[in-house]
């Protein structure tokens, strides 16, 4: 528990540092002649949906080396119910970023992931309960745009932040078990991202792994389009 708290503090410090760094970096931007033209740095908001996000109930994290066979009592209760399909909302994300250089955007992403499944009675096939987990991630992100055109941009990105998961498991004998909370890092690496559009744009990210999903798609809106930069 103490180790978890220490880890959480470290991650929190990293997130705060990254956020401050984003502000500082933005402060380093050359605004010469910028305000005279009433140009603000380009900013955008994105709404996206990610497939297969990594959350803290990922099976790999629950691996157990205990290979003792289950007791007959456990077998009896587990046969009284069965688990239905495990549904996921996927990673529902909202992001905001600002362009601090032609090739660099800095921002943060807020992500929600909900997983749930119904528990059915073996005898009656009726739903007797539901187990679910809800995760929330805050991920400061650096986006490196390596192809810039008026309509198309291509980029890679990296994000590091914190997340929490509230899990309510089903326990034998009916009724939900005690909900518990887990903290951990939120990491997202994107190999290839593409956005198509000007003010309103569509985007997709592949070759990704992390808490935002392995494949992400969404729409975005550039709040302050820096048309001057499109022409460079």
Partner 1 sequence: MRAKVILSMVLLTFSAYSCILEEGYKPEKRTQAAKLIWDATSNVISGNLYAADLALKLDLWMTAPESQKNQIEDRYFPGSKIRVTQGVWNLTGTPVFIYPDNKSIHTVGSVWKVMFADPLYTYPPTRRMHITIECTGDLEWQIATYDGEAANDEFEFEMGLSGRRVENPANAAGYIYTVSGGGSYIPFEYSFINESLIISYEVSAEMTFHPQSVQSLFNNYFYRAYQGKCSITVNDKKNSAVDDKILVEILSGSSTRILYKLTYNGTTENWESSTL
Name the site residues for partner 1 (rule: CB under 8 A): 48-49, 51-52, 68-77, 79-80, 82-90, 115, 117-118, 120, 122-125, 173, 200, 202, 215, 217-219
- Decide: 20 and 78 in contact? Cβ < 8 Å: no
State the nearest-atom distance from the C-beta of 166 to partner 1, in Å.
Answer: 18
Closer residue to partner 1, CB minimum distance, 38 or 178: 178
Closer residue to partner 1, CB minimum distance, 158 or 219: 219
Closer residue to partner 1, CB minimum distance, 83 or 228: 83
Closer residue to partner 1, CB minimum distance, 113 or 160: 113
C-alpha separations of 70 from 66, 74, 134 in Å: 10, 6, 28
3-class DSSP state of 5: helix
Instruction: Provide the CA 91 distance to its chain's centre, in angstroms.
Output: 6
State the nearest-atom distance from the C-beta of 145 to partner 1, in Å.
Answer: 20
State the nearest-atom distance from the C-beta of 163 to partner 1, in Å.
Answer: 18
- Decide: 107 and 96 in contact? Cβ < 8 Å: yes
**Residues contacting residue 118 through CB under 8 Å, at least 6 positions apart:** 83, 84, 127, 129, 130
What six digits make up the tokens of 128? Answer: 């007797």
State the nearest-atom distance from the C-beta of 70 to partner 1, in Å.
Answer: 7
State the nearest-atom distance from the C-beta of 31 to partner 1, in Å.
Answer: 32
Query: What own/partner pairs with CB < 8 Å and gap ≥ 24 does 145-153 have?
Result: 145/102, 145/103, 145/104, 145/105, 146/103, 148/102, 148/103, 148/229, 148/230, 148/232, 149/230, 150/198, 150/230, 150/231, 151/196, 151/197, 151/198, 152/194, 152/195, 152/196, 153/194, 153/195
What six digits make up the tokens of 195? Answer: 């956005």
State the nearest-atom distance from the C-beta of 211 to partner 1, in Å.
Answer: 15
Closer residue to partner 1, CB minimum distance, 23 or 84: 84
Closer residue to partner 1, CB minimum distance, 36 or 59: 59
């Amino acid at each position: 528990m103490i180790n978890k708290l220490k880890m959480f503090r470290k991650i929190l410090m990293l997130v705060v540092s990254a956020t401050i760094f984003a502000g500082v970096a933005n402060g380093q931007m050359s605004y010469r002649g910028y305000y005279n033209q009433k140009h603000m740095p380009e900013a955008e908001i994105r709404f996206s949906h990610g497939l297969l996000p990594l959350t803290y109930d990922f099976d790999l994290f629950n691996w157990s080396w205990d290979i003792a066979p289950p007791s007959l009592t456990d077998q009896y209760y587990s046969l009284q119910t069965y688990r239905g399909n495990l549904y996921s909302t996927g990673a529902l994300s909202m992001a905001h970023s600002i362009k601090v250089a032609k090739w660099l955007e800095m921002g943060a992403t807020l992500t929600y992931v909900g997983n749930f499944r119904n528990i059915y009675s073996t005898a009656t096939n009726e739903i007797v309960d539901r187990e679910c987990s809800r995760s929330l991630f805050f991920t400061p992100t650096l986006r490196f745009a390596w192809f810039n055109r008026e309509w198309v941009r291509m980029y890679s990105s990296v994000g590091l932040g914190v997340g929490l998961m509230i899990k309510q498991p089903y326990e034998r004998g009916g009724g939900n078990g005690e909900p518990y909370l887990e903290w951990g890092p939120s990491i997202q690496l994107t190999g290839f991202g593409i956005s198509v559009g000007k003010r309103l744009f569509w985007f997709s990210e592949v070759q990704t792994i992390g808490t935002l999903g392995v494949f992400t798609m969404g729409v975005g809106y550039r709040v302050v389009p820096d048309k001057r930069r499109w022409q460079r």
